[in-house]
Each structure stands twice: as structure tokens, then as C-alpha cells.
Structure 1
Amino acid sequence: MSTLEEHIDIDVPLDKAWETLHRADTYTRCVGGVREARSAGERRTHLDVEAGGRTRGLDVETTDRGKELAWKTTSGPDLAGTVSLLPIDREHTRVQARFEYEPDTITEAFGGPKGFAQHAAIERGVRSDLQQFKELVERERKR
């Protein structure tokens, strides 16, 4: 199992970031490759994800643990992770993402590179997703 961790600091209070994180409609705007996201129940979300030239449907189950959102796929490739929100001060929050995956599972499900090239591509993707989330939540705050 491979694990990747990244974080970013955002200029919004923790509660605002938490609210945005829990809206399925935000995933298409801040998670690379997600073409459609819809709630499929209280703790379930269905995602249509495009990666490596392939589109796959994934069902994801989420669990709240304090200010940490844990997630895991219940269909499709076996993927899991967490998004933790940590207060820096009253107006700033650190978003920490942890992504757990089996490299062969990613290649089988979506194609693409293997080894270090795969890890580097996933790392760039997670960093980009965090940056997109930052821009989205900060833009929404200004409205």
C-alpha cells in the first residue's frame, strides 16, 4: 500500500472549509478527473472519474471523525484517504490530505505510468486538487 500526504493553508475559518468539503457538488470543481458527483445517501457519494483516458464510476463512503473526513471506495478500485482540517487561527485553516492506494490497482483501473512516475503523477494531482479547493473556498467566502 502506498500513502501520499500533502497539505495547504487556506484563508478561511475551519467551519467554512468543513461546510464546503461536505458538498458533493464541489468535487467536480476541485478534484481532478471527477466529471460528475452526486450524493447517494447520507454517507455515500457516487463519482464518475476520468483518468488515464478511462472513465469509471466509483461509490465512496465517508465517515466524519471530528474535523476529519475519512473516505473509502465501496466499488471500483480499492482507494481510501482522509481530509483533515486543522485550525491555524480564527481565519485560517490547514487542509491535510492523505491518499492510500495500491499502485497496481491504479494502473489496472485507469492505466497510466507505474513506479516513481505514477507516484509523481498522483502527487501532482493531489497538490492540484488542494490548490483548487483553496481557490474555491476562498472565492466562495468573498461572495
Structure 2
Amino acid sequence: MSTLEEHIDISVPLHTAWECLHRTETYPRFVDGVREARTEGELTHLDVDAGGRSQGLDIRITDRDQDNLITWRTTSGPELAGTFSLLLIDGEHTRLQVRFEYEPGTVTEAFGGPKGFAQAAAIERGVRSDLQQFKELVEAER
């Protein structure tokens, strides 16, 4: 299993970032490749376009409000998992840390695209881009 960790500092209070992460319908606005996101019972369903392929993914999301931590894991499609962790910097600034876990071969099979180092670099660029888009979204909505 490969793991990628990234973070970004956001100029909003922690509770504002936390609320945005919980609005499933906003995922297409900051997660590249997600066309639609909706809650279906205890799962979140994502319609995703990645590597020229369309696919539906079901994700189980668990949050621990006291720890400002959201964990997620796919229940259908490729095996993917991760966490979003919010850390208080001060009253007006928050750090969003992301941890993304994936099996490189599974990602290639499910979505196509490069292999090896090129795949890791592409995933890293994608996560960084998603973080930047989240920052812009949540700061603009403030």
C-alpha cells in the first residue's frame, strides 16, 4: 500500500473548514474527476471520471468531531482510503492535512494512467490541486 501525505493552510476558522468537508455535494467543486457526489444512507456515492474512465465509487465516511478527523474508505471499486485532519493554527487559520492510501496496481487497473514513479507523481499533483481548490472554495465562501 502506498501512502501520500500533504497539507495546506487555510485562512478560515476550523469550524468553517469542517462544515465544508461535510457537505458532500461540494466535492465536485474541489476534488478533480468527481462529477457528482451524494449521500446514500450510510455511504457517500461518487461518480468519477479518471484516466478517461467513468466509474461509481461508494465510500464509507467516519468522522470524529472531537478530533476534527474524517476517515474514509471505498466499499466498492478500487481499494482506496484516507483521512482529512483539521488542525487549529489560530482563531482564523486552519491546517488541512490529507493522507491518501492506495495500491498502485489497483489504481492503474481501475483508472488507467501511468505506472510506477509517474503514477505517484500524478497522484501527488492531483492531491495538491484538490487541496488548493478546497482552500479557494472555503475561503471564497467565508
Corresponding pairs, count: 140
- Deviations along 1:54-74, one digit per CA (max 9) or x if unpaired, are 011000000112201000000
- What's the offset of the Cα at 1:29? 0.1
User: What root-mean-square deviation, in Å, do the aligned CA atoms of Structure 1 and Structure 2 show?
Assistant: 0.6
Code of the aligned partner of 2:52: G
Mapping 1:3-18, distance limit 5 Å: 3-18=3-18
- Deviations along 1:36-92, one digit per CA (max 9) or x if unpaired, are 101112x42100111100011000000112201000000000000000000000000
Distance 1:12 1:25 in 2: 20
Distance 1:39 1:62 in 2: 10
Distance 2:10 2:43 in 1: 26
2:21 counterpart residue number: 21
- What's the offset of the Cα at 1:93? 0.1
Code of the aligned partner of 1:75: S
What SS does the aligned partner of 2:128 have? Answer: helix
Distance 2:62 2:25 in 1: 18
Distance 2:90 2:9 in 1: 11
Distance 1:35 1:123 in 2: 20
2:104 counterpart residue number: 103
TM-score (norm 1): 0.97
Q: Structure 1: any 5+ residue segments left out of the alignment?
A: none
Distance 2:6 2:30 in 1: 15
What SS does the aligned partner of 1:63 have? Answer: strand
1:63 counterpart residue number: 62
Distance 1:98 1:56 in 2: 22
Mapping 1:34-49, distance limit 5 Å: 34-41=34-41, 43-49=42-48
Q: Does 1:77 align with 2:63?
A: no
Q: Structure 2: any 5+ residue segments left out of the alignment?
A: none
Distance 2:11 2:25 in 1: 21
- What's the offset of the Cα at 1:122? 0.1
